[in-house]
């Protein structure tokens, strides 16, 4: 603690996780740090979960509502969900126990655009924020907070909460200090001003998070790694999706619609996103930039090889190997990486201004280009919309990617009508599967349908999609966006009944 907690006043607040957890009352709204498994509190949530379990064993109610940046980890979402300790959760999550409780109707979940979370909280739509529990990398002598491996909504939680509990994680690289850019200029209408960010690497804010020391009721020391999940090697489908996309970028450069170094890249997380980044590493594009949410392994490799000049995000999401590399070369990375609050990393105004290329995964798309990113068979939440809508709606290009089938070929990811809509046909420009790429820009609905069927659908399902489309087109009903309403969701219904679409 000698090196990490320099402020004498806050050193007096050091206590263990159990004592800190005891300061969080049952029923509280708690804002926690954490974004895609980075920078989440590691000790207090587990201590809280143990208390809740003891209370529940004695028949006493003890649950809280949790607001975060995005997904966290088993030590937070998992531990609290396991003891039925979460009344309501927002926004993005990807925890299997949470998912199960949400889908069983035992946990409320509000899934909103990540850029909307802070302004909604400021406006009071979620109620009052009682406590913030925030992981930091250290505390300066003046009591300023050095952010950790993610920023997420930390600025907002600290500003809004009555009381703040800090976890100082000695396991985070001390060299993170100086990587962050915390912008304090946001406001609600009618007081909003332009966000003065005109380049992906520009700094417009401050190095540290500020918190009045009298609000800080506890400081807990930890020494634990982030979730740091391993990435699998890209499979064949992911590599082919990446290949189609990179060819498309080359054609766009040739057509003069993209500069030779493309435009700032946003990439979702997961296997396909990783394959696209790997493809870029071997591709012809130089001097790339990224304006994204999450930096995963592939982005670090691109920075290292020099293909990527700089990257802006709100969080890391790294494998253990990449995390070691980050720590070892932190000075190199600090010159090239800016971490921002998610309100800024995902800000519609900035994304539109910079002309971001948005590349995200999806669960399914329909013939007309509506995309479902969140709900399996229309009802069961997978993760959440995350930042995909912030980027897709406002980017210069919006790309959605998926293998053409799921569950060993039992499911077509191209369906007559999506069973849940996250991104409407108006916000989806490019659909890519391993079969090919459909460029929907400038096309009316029926042409979009033909292109998606031809380029993206799996051959096992293509004839039936075409048959549906042709019968809908011959139905004599509305021919702008033809559908057979009684059949539109029959593929999903068939899957639920028989296990195959």
Q: Does 387 bind ligand 0RQ (CB under 6 A)?
A: yes
Which residue has the CB atom at the shortest distance from ligand 0RQ? Answer: 386
Measure the CA–CA gap between 460 and 441, rounded to whole angstroms. 26
Measure the CA–CA gap between 271 and 289, rounded to whole angstroms. 21
Out of 388, 398, 404, 433, point to the residue binding ligand 0RQ (CB under 6 A). Answer: 388
Residue matched to tokens 């028949």: 59
Q: Does 364 bind ligand 0RQ (CB under 6 A)?
A: yes
Q: Which stretch binds ligand 0RQ (CB under 6 A): 281-289, 378-386, 427-435, 460-468?
A: 378-386
What are the beta bridge partners of residue 133?
32, 165
Alpha carbon of residue 316 to chain centroid: 11
Toward ligand 0RQ, which CB reaches closer, 330 or 376? 376
| Signed CA dihedral, 76, 82, 88, 94: sign only | positive
Token pair of 469 as six digits? 């489309």
Q: Does 281 bind ligand 0RQ (CB under 6 A)?
A: no
Out of 72, 360, 370, 394, point to the residue binding ligand 0RQ (CB under 6 A). Answer: 360
Torsion angle, alpha carbons of 197, 203, 207, 211, to 10: -10
Backbone angles phi, psi at 315, to 5 degrees: -160, 160
Measure the CA–CA gap between 67 and 129, rounded to whole angstroms. 9
The residues that are catalytic are 293
Q: Does 406 bind ligand 0RQ (CB under 6 A)?
A: yes
Q: Does 270 bind ligand 0RQ (CB under 6 A)?
A: yes
Annotate 42-64 with DSSP letters as a single string.
SSHHHHHHHHHHHHHHTT----E
- Write the interaction track for ligand 0RQ spanning residues 36-65; mark x where CB under 6 A is met and - where it is not: x-----------------------------
Q: Does 14 bind ligand 0RQ (CB under 6 A)?
A: no
Q: What angle do CA 203, 133, 19 make, to 5 degrees?
A: 145
Q: How far is the CB of 33 from ligand 0RQ (least distance, A)?
A: 14
Toward ligand 0RQ, which CB reaches closer, 65 or 373? 373
Out of 143, 264, 386, 416, point to the residue binding ligand 0RQ (CB under 6 A). Answer: 386
Q: Does 383 bind ligand 0RQ (CB under 6 A)?
A: yes
How far apart, in Å, are the Cα atoms of 16 and each of 25, 80, 181, 224, 466? 17, 18, 30, 15, 63
CA proximity to 155, closest of 182, 177, 137, 129: 182
Q: Does 407 bind ligand 0RQ (CB under 6 A)?
A: yes
Mapped onto helix, strand or coil, the DSSP state of residue 353 is helix
Out of 30, 70, 262, 337, point to the residue binding ligand 0RQ (CB under 6 A). Answer: 70
Toward ligand 0RQ, which CB reaches closer, 143 or 403? 403
Q: Which stretch binds ligand 0RQ (CB under 6 A): 48-56, 208-216, 376-384, 458-466?
A: 376-384
Q: Does 90 bind ligand 0RQ (CB under 6 A)?
A: no
Binding region for ligand 0RQ (CB under 6 A): 36, 70, 92, 268-272, 293-294, 360-364, 373, 376, 382-383, 385-388, 403, 406-407, 411, 413
């Amino acid at each position: 603690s000698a090196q990490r907690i320099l402020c004498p006043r806050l050193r007096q607040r050091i206590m263990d996780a159990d004592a800190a957890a005891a300061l969080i009352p049952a029923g509280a709204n708690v804002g926690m740090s954490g974004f895609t498994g980075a920078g989440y509190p590691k000790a207090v949530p587990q201590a809280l979960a143990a208390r809740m379990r003891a209370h529940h064993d004695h028949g006493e109610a003890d649950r809280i509502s949790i607001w975060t940046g995005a997904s966290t980890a088993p030590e937070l979402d998992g531990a609290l969900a396991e003891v039925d300790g979460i009344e309501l959760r927002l926004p993005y999550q990807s925890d299997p126990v949470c998912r199960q409780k949400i889908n069983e109707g035992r946990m409320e979940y509000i899934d909103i655009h990540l850029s909307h979370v802070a302004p909604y909280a400021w406006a009071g739509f979620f109620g009052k924020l009682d406590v913030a529990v925030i992981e930091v990398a250290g505390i300066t002598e003046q009591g300023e907070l050095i952010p950790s491996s993610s920023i997420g909504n930390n600025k907002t939680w600290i500003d809004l909460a009555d009381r703040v509990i800090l976890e100082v994680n000695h396991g985070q690289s001390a060299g993170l200090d100086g990587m962050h850019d915390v912008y304090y200029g946001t406001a609600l209408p009618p007081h909003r001003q332009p966000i003065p960010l005109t380049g992906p690497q520009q700094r417009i804010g401050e190095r540290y998070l500020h918190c009045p020391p009298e609000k800080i009721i506890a400081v807990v020391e930890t020494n634990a790694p982030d979730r740091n999940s391993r990435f699998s090697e890209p499979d064949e489908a992911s590599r082919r999706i990446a290949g189609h996309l990179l060819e498309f970028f080359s054609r766009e450069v040739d057509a003069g619609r993209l500069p030779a170094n493309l435009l700032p890249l946003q990439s979702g997380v997961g296997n396909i996103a990783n394959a696209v980044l790997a493809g870029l590493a071997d591709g012809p594009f130089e001097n790339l930039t990224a304006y994204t949410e999450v930096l995963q392994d592939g982005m670090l490799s691109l920075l290292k090889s020099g293909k990527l000049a700089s990257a802006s995000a709100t969080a890391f999401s790294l494998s253990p190997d990449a995390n070691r590399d980050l720590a070892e070369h932190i000075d190199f990375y600090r010159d090239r990486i800016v971490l921002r609050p998610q309100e800024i990393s995902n800000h519609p105004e900035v994304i539109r201004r910079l002309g971001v290329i948005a590349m995200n995964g999806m669960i399914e798309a329909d013939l007309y280009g509506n995309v479902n990113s969140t709900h399996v068979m229309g009802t069961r939440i997978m993760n959440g919309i995350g930042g995909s809508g912030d980027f897709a709606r406002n980017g210069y290009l919006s790309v959605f990617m998926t293998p053409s089938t799921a569950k060993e070929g039992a499911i077509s990811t191209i369906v007559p009508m999506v069973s849940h809509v996250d991104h409407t046909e108006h916000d989806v420009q490019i659909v890519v599967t391993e079969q090919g790429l459909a460029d929907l820009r400038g096309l009316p609905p029926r042409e979009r349908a033909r292109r998606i069927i031809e380029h993206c659908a799996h051959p096992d399902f293509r004839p039936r999609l075409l048959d549906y489309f042709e019968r809908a087109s011959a139905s004599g009903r509305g021919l702008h966006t033809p559908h057979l309403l009684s059949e539109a969701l029959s593929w999903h219904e068939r899957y639920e009944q028989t296990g195959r679409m």
